[in-house]
Amino acid sequence: MKVLVTVKEVAAVEDEFQIAGTSIDETYLEYDLNEWDDYAVEEAVQLQEAGIADEVVAVTIGPERAEETIRMALAKGADRAVRIWDDALEGSDLLDVGAKTAILEKVVEEEDPDLVLSGVQADDDGFGATGVSLADALGFEWAAVVNHLDQDSVESGTASVRRELEGGVEELTDIELPAVLTIQTGINEPRYASLRGIRQAQRKEIAPKTLGDLGLDAAAVENELTLTDMYEPETESDATYFEGGPEEAAAQLATLLRDKGVGAQ
Amino acid sequence: MTDVLAIADHRRGELRDVSFELVTAGRELANETGGDLHVAVISGDVEGFGDQLQLDGVDTVHTVENGEEFNHDVYAQVVTQLFEAVDPQFLVMPNSVNGLDYAPAVANRLGLAYVSDVVDVGIDGSTLTATREMYSGKVETTTAVEAEQVAVSIRGAEWPATDETGDATVEAFEADVDESAVRSTVTGFEEVGGGDVDISEADVLVSIGRGIEEEENLDLVRDLADALDATLSSSRPIVDAGWLPKNRQVGQSGKVVTPDVYIAIGISGAVQHVAGMKGSDTIVAINTDPNAPIYDIADYGIVDDLFDVVPALIEEFE
Ligand SMILES: Cc1cc2nc3c(=O)[nH]c(=O)nc-3n(C[C@H](O)[C@H](O)[C@H](O)COP(=O)(O)OP(=O)(O)OC[C@H]3O[C@@H](n4cnc5c(N)ncnc54)[C@H](O)[C@@H]3O)c2cc1C
C-alpha cells in the first residue's frame, strides 16, 4: 500500500522580533519541519519498515526554500517528495484551508494512496483543519487527533485508531480506508535523520509542480481570508518581574515563595 | 441569511463548557447581523440538553436524535442539513477535539470560507473580522473573511459562558442520515494517565517544559521540587518524549490543576497548556523569552536562563 504524508515547513519566531505590516521580517524567522508532521512522517516510515507500506511519498506546498525541510522527511525514510508552488501563491501571507485542500486533493488523486497522514495542526498558521478538509474533498474517511494507530489493522482495510480527547480521555474508533489521519504528537518517537539518511536524501526525487501541472488555475486557490493586521498580543496580567541576574532574582523569588509557605516543611 | 447557527459540544452525558461560550459568541454575532441565534445539539440526551440550552439570547434550539455519542460522519451530515435548513450567515462550531474532527469537513462540503480557532470576532460592514493567534501565540492577527456565509470555530474559554435561562423554542430536527456514509465506528473510551501521583491534588507544582532540553537535566528540576517540597509536573513535549509519565502532563489533554503555586519553567504557555493551569492561585514563570505567552498569565516572572536560575533557587532553600 502507498502512504502519502503532507508536510509543511513552518516558521518560528525568534525571541526578539519586529512586525512589518502583516508579516514578520525574514530575519526574525527560523524554518523547520512542523512538529506534528514529524510524527506523521515517523508513523509512515514505521508502516514501511513493518512491510505494510510499499511506498511513502511526502507532499508539501512551499517555495524552493522548503526543499531543505522536505529533505528531512526524505532523510528519515520517505521515498520521494512532491513540492507544489506557483507564482499565484507567492504574494499570499496566509493560504487558507480551501486553497490547500484544492491543491492537495489533486496530488492525492494523482498519487492514489491508501492512507494519508498529516499533522494535527501547523505551528505557524494554526488552522488545524487541512487533513479533515482534504479527506472530505476526496470522499475519504478520516480521524483527527490520532495518538495511536494499530498498524496491523491498516492491512485489513480498517484502521483502528485512538483519538486523544480532552482531559486524559481517549476515544477508540475504527475507520474504513482509504483515509486521512491527522497525527498528534506522542504517537511515536520521531527518529533523528542519520548521516547516511541525509546523504541518501540528496539523491531522492523532489518533484516540483505548478498549479498548471495539477490542472488547476489561480482561481482554484483564491483566498477568501486576508490578513489585515498583525501585532503583539496585549498582556492581560501585569506580572511582577524579578531582575538583577539569576542569583538576585532567585533570592527574590525565594522570599515570595517562603511568604506563601512553600518549602516550609 | 442574517441568522447565526451554533453547534453545541457534549461528551458522556454532559454539555461541555464551550457550548455555553458558543452561545455568547453566537449572540454577539447575531446582534451584529440583526438575525436570530439558532443552537443545535446532536446525539445523546438531546431532550435534556435542549432544556439546558434554553439560554438567554438563544432563539431556537434544534435537537437532533442520533445515537449516544459524537460520530463525525453523522455530525458532518447533520450540520450540513441544518445549515441548509437555517441558511445562516455564520456557522459557529467549537475548536474542541471533536470540532477539529468535523468542522473542516462541514466547511468543505458546504464550500464555506473557514476560519478556525478564533479568539474574537467582529463585523466590519458585512465582512467578518476574526482575531486569531499565529506562531505559537507570539502574535495576534486580524483576518478579514470575504464571503457571504462563513464557518468559524471558536477557541474555548475566550468568551464568557451564558448561564442565564431564556425562552428559546425547542424544535426537533429530523435529519436524514445516510448510514452508508457513516464509515467510522466509535468502539469505546478509555481514561489514561492514572498512576502514582495525582498532580491535581498538589498545593505546589514545579512544572517543566521543553526548555529543559535533555532528559538528564530533569534531575535539576527534581532537586528543585524536593527542595520546595513540591510535586513535579510538565508540559506535553516532556511526556511525548517519554521522560515523564502521562499522569504528570498539565493541559487540555492532560490534567487540569489548581495549585496554590505553579512554577512554569521553560514552558512557552501554549493555549493547550494554559487550559490546564490558568486556575492556579499564583503563577511564576521562568523563561528566557520575554515574549513567551506564559507571561500573559504569570503573576511573577524571571526572564533568564533556567540553568542559572534553578540552581540558585535550590541553593536558597538548602
Ligand atoms: C490537540 C492538542 C492538545 C494538546 N494538549 C496539550 C496539553 O495537554 N499540555 C501541553 O502542555 N501541551 C499540549 N499541546 C501542545 C502545545 O500546543 C505545545 O506544543 C506545548 O505545550 C509546548 O510545550 P513547551 O511549552 O514545553 O515547549 P515550547 O513551546 O517549545 O516552549 C519551550 C520554552 O522554553 C523556553 N526556554 C528554552 N530554553 C530555556 C532556558 N534555558 N531557560 C528558560 N527558558 C527556556 C523557550 O523560550 C520556550 O518558551 C497540545 C496540542 C494540541 C494540538
C-alpha cell at A161: 485508531
CA distance A61 to A79: 18
Q: Is the ipTM, as predicted for this complex, more than 0.90?
A: yes
pLDDT at site A151: 96
Q: How far is the CA of B21 from the centre of ligand 1 (A)?
A: 26
Burial class (CB in 10 A: 0-12, 13-18, 19+), A200: middle
Q: Count of CB atoms within 10 A of residue A119's CB?
A: 27
* Chain A environment of B304 (Cβ under 8 Å): 245-246, 249
C-alpha cell at B176: 436524514
Ordered per-residue pLDDT tens for chain B, 318 residues: 899 999 999 999 999 999 999 999 999 999 999 999 999 999 999 999 999 999 999 999 999 999 999 999 999 999 999 999 999 999 999 999 999 999 999 999 999 999 999 999 999 888 999 999 999 999 999 999 999 999 999 999 999 999 999 999 999 999 999 999 999 999 999 998 777 899 999 999 999 999 999 999 999 999 999 999 999 999 999 999 999 999 999 999 999 999 999 999 999 999 999 999 999 999 999 999 999 999 999 999 999 999 999 999 999 998
C-alpha cell at B40: 443545535
pLDDT at site B318: 87
pLDDT at site B193: 75
Cα distances (Å, whole numbers) of residue B287 to B197, B212, B298, B304, B310: 26, 11, 11, 6, 11
- Give the nearest partner residue to A231 out of B139, B186, B228, using CB atoms: B139
Phi and psi angles of residue B103, each rounded to the nearest 5 degrees, phi first: -60, -45
B14 in A contact zone (CB under 8 Å): no
CA distance B15 to A111: 42
- One-letter amino acid identity for B65? E
pLDDT at site A219: 92
pLDDT at site A236: 67
* Chain B environment of A162 (Cβ under 8 Å): 190
Best probe residue, ligand 1, of B268, B274, B304, B309 (max atoms within 8 Å of C-beta): B268
pLDDT at site A265: 56
Contact (Cβ atoms closer than 8 angstroms) between residue A257 and residue A242: no
CA distance B10 to B15: 4
Read off the DSSP letter of residue A191: P
Q: What pTM did the predictor assign?
A: 0.97
How high does pLDDT run on average in chain B?
Answer: 97
Q: How far is A46 from chain B (nearest CA, A)?
A: 17
Over residues B188-214, the pLDDT tens digits come to 999 987 778 999 999 999 999 999 999
A220 in B contact zone (CB under 8 Å): no
Instruction: Determine the residue among A166, A184, A222, A238 to mutate to test chain B binding: the one whose Cβ has the most chain B Cβ atoms within 10 Å.
Output: A166
Report CA Rg, chain B.
22
A25 in B contact zone (CB under 8 Å): no
Buried b (16+ CB within 10 A) or exposed e, A35-59: bbbbbbbbbbbbbbeeebbeebbbb
CB-based contacts of A250, cutoff 8 Å, min separation 6: A242, B302, B309, B312, B313, B315, B316
Over residues B51-79, the pLDDT tens digits come to 999 999 999 999 999 999 999 999 999 99
C-alpha cell at B134: 499565529
CA distance A98 to A101: 5
Ordered per-residue pLDDT tens for chain A, 265 residues: 999 999 999 999 999 999 999 999 999 999 999 999 999 999 999 999 999 999 999 999 999 999 999 999 999 999 999 999 999 999 788 899 999 999 999 999 999 999 999 999 999 999 999 999 999 999 999 999 999 999 999 999 999 999 999 999 999 999 999 999 999 999 999 999 999 999 999 999 999 999 999 999 999 998 899 999 999 988 766 899 999 999 999 999 999 999 999 986 5
- Give the nearest partner residue to B298 out of A125, A189, A237, using CB atoms: A237
